[in-house]
Structure 1
Amino acid sequence: MDNREAMGSWLSGPREAMEQAGADFGYRGEQLGLPEHGPGSIARPGRRIGALVVDWALCMLIAYGLVTHGYNQATGNWALLIFFALSVLTVGTIGCTPGKRLFGLRVVSEAGGRIGFGRVLARSVLLCVAVPALIWDRDGRGLHDRVAKSVEVRS
């Protein structure tokens, strides 16, 4: 292995190195019975992050304009509370937040269909803590989705 291959394997990550060694991981969502591409496939990180940014900006705007009437230290706390309420209410009823809707995403149960209120509540709490959302499995699902037995898919 020359230096370029060693550098390339380091940059591409352990999954790519294992696949080059002959391991077959399949595509994201294969273990869940989801299609590889198109509607119903696992949402890609770029879309998920974009939806999160839109939702957070909306919550900051609401907190800024309606609650704190200007920016101060409490604005971020209010925005987090509004984000939690938005997540529980919208994912629990229609399966997506405004940001997810804009980016063509929805949250469904592993078995298909809507997730129950208790799981939506647990997912939203863990999402607000942020750390579980940063720990992903091989399918690209965050720990908050694993706990809630949910999947964020393309609609």
Structure 2
Amino acid sequence: MGVEFGHRGQRLGLPEEGPGSLARPGRRFAALFIDWALCMLIAYGLLSGGKAQSASNWALVVFAVLSVLTVGTVGFTPGKRMLGLRVLAEGGGRISLPRVVLRTLLLVVVIPAVVWDRDGRGLHDRLSRAVQVRM
């Protein structure tokens, strides 16, 4: 009938449900939306001088800086924290700063973030050897 691959995250040694399990796509998208809205507010209010077109360009820069600083230090962005998500290294523990920078650059490019594996991890997470889990 088909091949049984097990639950999402089983290959990584993660539980099927509860804390430490892989974050679901809906929560990840919602966290990204919250982070993007926050970055748009910062860019519009502080950096663009009230110009909407300029704000969207600055928001990408603010998003990249926010992501590197917050994921690199505490393991989550404000949106991820609000929704109970955390970014960890594949083996557990904090993700190193160079891997956070790589992950952020791939996320800003967008294409790697929308290519997923069977566990639901984006290519940006696979290449940086990171995993988004529930707290």
TM-score of the superposed pair, with normalisation by structure 2: 0.98
Aligned position for 1:150: 130
Runs of 5+ in structure 2 lacking a partner?
Answer: none
Deviation at 1:143, TM superposition (A): 0.3
Tell me by how many angstroms 1:94 deviates.
Answer: 0.1
RMSD: 0.7
Aligned to 2:5: 25
CA distance in 2, matches of 1:152, 1:22: 28
Structure 2 partner of 1:138: 118
Query: Which structure: larger Rg?
Result: 1
Per the TM alignment, residue 73 of structure 1 is displaced from its structure 2 partner at its CA by: 1.7
Give the whole-Å Cα distance in 2 for the aligned partners of 1:107 and 1:148: 11
Q: Output the CA distance in 1 between the equivalents of 2:76 and 2:51.
A: 28
1:104-125 per-residue CA deviation (whole Å, 9 max, x = no partner) reads: 0000000100010000000000
Instruction: Pick 1 or 2: higher relative contact order, CA cutoff 8 A, min separation 6.
Output: 2
The number of aligned residues is 135
Aligned equivalents of 2:105, 2:42: Cα separation in 1: 20
Structure 1 residue ranges without an equivalent (≥5): 1-20
- Distance (whole Å) between structure 2 residues aligned to residue 45 and residue 86 of structure 1: 21
Runs (4 or more) in structure 1 with deviation over 4 Å come to none
The SS at the match of 1:95 is coil
Q: Quote how far apart the aligned CAs of 1:153 are.
A: 0.3
Pair 1:78-2:58 in alignment? yes
* Residue number in structure 2 paired with 1:97: 77
Identity across matched positions, percent? 64
Letter in 2 for 1:48: R
Give how far 1:23 is off.
Answer: 1.6
Match of 1:6 in 2: none
